[in-house]
Structure 1
Amino acid sequence: MSVEQRVQRTSRRTDRGALQLSATLLLVGQLAYVLVTQFHAGGHANDHRAIFATYAGSGAWKGVHVGQFLAMVVVVAGLVVFHQALGLRAGGAAAAARVGAVLAVVALALYAVLQGVDGVGNQQVDAAWAHASATDRPARFASAEAVRWLEWGVRSYHDYALGLALVLLGIAATAVRATPVPTAVGWLMAGSGAAYLVQGWVVGAQGFSGTHTILILVAWALSLVWMIWLGVVLWRKPHLERID
């Protein structure tokens, strides 16, 4: 059987149109997430007294968090479409892809909880502390810290779910016999997932530390590299297939 015949026989396993849609959703969602996050109130996130005062006075707080949530919806939609486009039906790679898609949806559900805690709860308790009387301020501050620590926990498990989703989908992508997705893209996808897994551990142990910030930037950079690469391959080389 010639290489061309093998491509014709096996390329039905991947849906190029769906892969293009996936690449578009992923890149648009990631870029939107990075952009809207630039409007997030900043400061030393583990200096609670200073940062709570900043959050309490942020006029863009709720809008930024809604924007982040909508961007995450687009990213997760891209991951689910990516899973469908791979067309894996049986075997270990198919199972990994299915679990990865489920975990992506779980990550979105956890992110909705996270944005409820952070985008609504945090600012409410921070404002209550900032405007409390001297007598009430210690109790209000304790409440604000409790909500902050809850945010750490939800963020940690969101990162775990998203990280595992990316690792499993990336590994599954490398196992498809005929696909326009370069093998290196699959491994970079898995690498970005590993960065989210480490983020999950760090935020659970240290909160929003400097190390956590570095890991966020690493995950963003890796994600943008493989998303852009995937988009370029799919839109510029419509007839190229990888044969393993």
Structure 2
Amino acid sequence: MKKYGTDHNPRPAASAESGRPSSARAPLRLAATLAFAGFALSVVAGLLHADTASANDHPATFTEYAGSSIWTAVHLGQFVGMALLIAGLLVLLMVLKGPDGTMTWTARFGAVAAVAALALYAALQAVDGVALKHAVDAWFAAPEPERAARFATAEGIRWLEWGMRSYQSFVLGAALILTGAVVVGARRISRLIGYLMALSGLAYLAQGWIIGAVGFSPANTIPTLSGIVLILVWSVWLLVSAWLGKDVPDRDRRRG
């Protein structure tokens, strides 16, 4: 005898399942938009940065910095850009962390590293964008008897900047590597995005080592450019994937 009320109609479930991806992708789209916007703002602010002189030639560099009228604004723009990029990483980690605990600890460590990287960057920009600017302005305007002492003060702040940027690069590199691992493990978006994130993290680790050892030397050119290009590629790819792509079904993720 047929028992009424025990059969399940698959249509509502299918309808609900078909409506899920669009709402589920909203946080992913937010993460991608924040990350790309942060990268773009950082690049624009960096293009306005006074850097025609060799960065390790302190007399020439300090003279150029003293003549910059937008120095503080440029560094504020760089900080906002980094804050948006870090916010994108944090949202991405929340989105991709598996509901069953998959990659939970990796995502947590990645989030801690990302927050620490932002805190270090805030301190770095306070030193570089505010303290160093005042120091070089005071050196440039000082009478000759005071110039040596003023220069020593500015150079000390510069060396502090080296140390802070070195460690910020280390921590940001770790955050990018951990986030890349979560992207690869989650399999919701292309794993190549995760690999590119990890590579950009390695570029930042290299930057941290070089800056800590020899400052802003030409030896840092390749790691710096590599990091910029890699972040450009994965942030654009993530943006396109989040807005135009489709979620990988759960069964395919488990199978992969």
Give the TM-score taking structure 2 as reference length: 0.86
Does residue 21 (structure 1) correspond to residue 30 (structure 2)? The answer is: yes
Q: Which amino acid letter does the alignment assign opposite residue 65 of structure 2? A: Y
Q: Which amino acid letter does the alignment assign opposite residue 92 of structure 2? A: F
Q: Which amino acid letter does the alignment assign opposite residue 128 of structure 2? A: D
Aligned counterparts, 1:1-244, within 5 A: 15-42=24-51, 43-89=53-99, 93-176=103-186, 178-179=187-188, 181-241=189-249, 243=253, 244=256
Q: Is the Cα–Cα contact under 8 Å of residues 113 and 172 in structure 2 kept in the other structure? A: yes
Which ranges of structure 1 fall in alignment gaps of 5 or more residues? Answer: none
Which ranges of structure 2 fall in alignment gaps of 5 or more residues? Answer: 1-13
Spell out, residue by residue over 1:191-235, the C-alpha distance to the aligned partner (whole angstroms, 9 max, x if none).
101101111111101111112233221101001101111111221
Report the equivalent of 2:7: none
Q: Secondary structure at the match of 2:145?
A: coil
Distance in 1 separating the partners of 2:32 and 2:182: 16
Q: Which amino acid letter does the alignment assign opposite residue 78 of structure 2? A: Q
Q: Which amino acid letter does the alignment assign opposite residue 41 of structure 1? A: A
Spell out, residue by residue over 1:153-186, the C-alpha distance to the aligned partner (whole angstroms, 9 max, x if none).
010111111100000110121112x51x101111
Q: Which has the higher contact order (CA 8 A, sep 6+)?
A: 1
Question: Which moved further from structure 2: 133-142 or 42-51?
Answer: 133-142
Alignment size in residue pairs: 233
Question: Which moved further from structure 2: 127-136 or 219-228?
Answer: 127-136
Cα offset, 1:136, TM superposition: 1.2
Cα offset, 1:23, TM superposition: 0.6
Distance in 1 separating the partners of 2:229 and 2:48: 19
- Percent of aligned positions with the same letter in both sequences? 45
Distance in 2 separating the partners of 1:118 and 1:206: 17
Give the TM-score taking structure 1 as reference length: 0.90
Q: Is the Cα–Cα contact under 8 Å of residues 15 and 87 in structure 1 kept in the other structure? A: no
Q: Secondary structure at the match of 2:144?
A: coil
Cα offset, 1:93, TM superposition: 2.4
Cα offset, 1:92, TM superposition: 7.2
Q: Secondary structure at the match of 2:103?
A: helix
Question: Which moved further from structure 2: 34-43 or 211-220?
Answer: 211-220
Cα offset, 1:87, TM superposition: 2.7
Q: Which amino acid letter does the alignment assign opposite residue 126 of structure 2? A: G
- Of structures 1 and 2, the larger Rg is shown by 2
Cα offset, 1:240, TM superposition: 4.7
Q: Is the Cα–Cα contact under 8 Å of residues 97 and 107 in structure 2 kept in the other structure? A: no
Spell out, residue by residue over 1:121-152, the C-alpha distance to the aligned partner (whole angstroms, 9 max, x if none).
11111111111121111111111110000000
